[in-house]
């Protein structure tokens, strides 16, 4: 049965060959050191999940100013790149593929986690009606400063340098995080972007930062190793848009013209996983002809259907990969899943991180 299973049919994603269509979504786990260095146990964590068709790392900040939560990793120093290299080497040694998600949180941050107690930066100076996780627990986001022209130029340079370091770190590619109400999304969506300069107003202006970032990372990576993540219907982190279908249609078309490795879309959130939301996602899907990764509430059966119907080329799984490091095998065998311990999702030690059991042969009748 496995040989006929579309989830286990290899496929070309840009310049990368995937052995299966079950991908590991980015998962923030808050277990890095305070200076952005990945912890040693992250080597084991990612190596355990090397059977994924592709691993997307947890969101990784591109600069000190891109940080929004405690104990998240960075990719802005040579030392961080060297530690990430230990992780990529371990994944590759077990036959895996791993891409890093480049992240700038924008206004979803707090002065206590930023250098010198600085204010966060964004497309706007309006504070987000949201919270972030600090040393004191959940706190309201600090009021941001709207990036000026020089600040935008520096941010683009930070993406460029992070992309260079990602290559030093041995990754197979990079994903630009433009979803979930973080910095690039704060420029894309008009519910937040209130600018009147060349980065505000029309959708062509609002997607200018994303284009400049893609140009910058493209100096170090060919398009076949670069992906973008979007959440067109998401309202996480106080994000919104007046006409997401019209505006994201333009964004999808722009990305389609760039011949990127893929577009990764977080399709469903609580409250929009309904017929109207699915219709909007399907409408947008028609504007991108490249490799498409679906994400949001999928299980093995839904993933097979989505790929078989031509909606997606692969599906990214989030929480199932937390508790099931061998998720592809479990889906292939329709085997029982481990139950995730939500209390250990964010922060802590190896408990709930690298101690979930693998499927044993005695757990199934036959492969």
Point out the residues that are catalytic: 182
- Location of structure tokens 């959440």: 231
Q: What backbone torsions phi and psi does residue 334 show, to the nearest 5 degrees?
A: 50, 45
Distance CA(314)–CA(334), nearest Å, equals 18
Which phi and psi (to 5°) does residue 18 adopt?
Answer: -100, 130
DSSP percent split of the chain into helix, strand, coil, nearest 5: 35, 15, 50
The 3-state DSSP class for residue 330 equals helix
61, 121 contact by CB (below 8 A):
no
DSSP codes, 131-176: EEEETTEEEEPPPPEE--HHHHHHHHHHHHHHHHHHHHTT-SEEEE
Distance CA 353, CA 359 (A): 16
Burial of 291 (0-12, 13-18, 19+ CB in 10 A): buried
Distance CA 206, CA 187 (A): 5
Eight-class DSSP state of 292: E
CA–CA separation, 92 and 98 (whole Å): 8
């Amino acid at each position: 049965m496995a040989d006929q299973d579309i989830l286990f049919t290899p496929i070309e994603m840009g310049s990368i060959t995937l052995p299966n269509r079950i991908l590991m979504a980015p998962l923030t786990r808050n277990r890095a050191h305070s200076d952005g260095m990945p912890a040693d146990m992250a080597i084991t964590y990612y190596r355990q999940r090397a059977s994924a068709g592709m691993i997307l790392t947890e969101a990784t900040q591109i600069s000190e100013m891109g940080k929004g939560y405690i104990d998240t990793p960075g990719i802005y120093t040579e030392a961080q790149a060297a530690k990430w290299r230990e992780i990529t080497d371990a994944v590759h040694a077990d036959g895996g593929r791993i891409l890093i998600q480049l992240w700038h949180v924008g206004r979803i941050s707090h002065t206590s986690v930023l250098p010198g107690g600085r204010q966060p930066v964004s497309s706007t100076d309006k504070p987000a009606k949201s919270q972030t996780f600090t040393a004191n627990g959940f706190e309201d986001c600090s009021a941001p400063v709207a990036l000026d022209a020089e600040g935008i130029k520096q941010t683009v340079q930070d993406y460029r340098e992070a992309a260079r370091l990602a290559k030093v770190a041995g990754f197979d590619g990079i994903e630009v995080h433009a979803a979930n109400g973080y910095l690039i999304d704060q420029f894309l969506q008009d519910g937040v972007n209130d600018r009147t300069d060349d980065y505000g107003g029309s959708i062509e202006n609002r997607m200018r930062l994303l284009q400049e970032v893609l140009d910058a990372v493209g100096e170090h990576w060919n398009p076949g190793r670069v992906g973008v993540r979007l959440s067109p219907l998401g309202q996480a982190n106080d994000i919104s848009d007046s006409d997401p279908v019209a505006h994201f249609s333009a964004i999808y078309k722009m990305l389609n013209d760039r011949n990127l490795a893929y577009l990764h879309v977080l399709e469903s959130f609580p409250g929009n996983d309904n017929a109207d939301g699915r219709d909007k996602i399907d409408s947008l899907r028609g504007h991108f002809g490249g490799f498409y990764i679906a994400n949001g509430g999928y299980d093995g059966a839904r993933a097979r259907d989505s790929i078989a119907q031509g909606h997606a080329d692969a599906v990214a799984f989030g929480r199932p990969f937390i508790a099931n490091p061998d998720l592809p095998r479990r889906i292939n065998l329709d085997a029982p899943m481990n139950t995730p311990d939500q209390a250990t999702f964010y922060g802590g030690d190896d408990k709930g991180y690298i101690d979930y059991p693998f499927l044993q042969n005695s757990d199934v009748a036959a492969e």
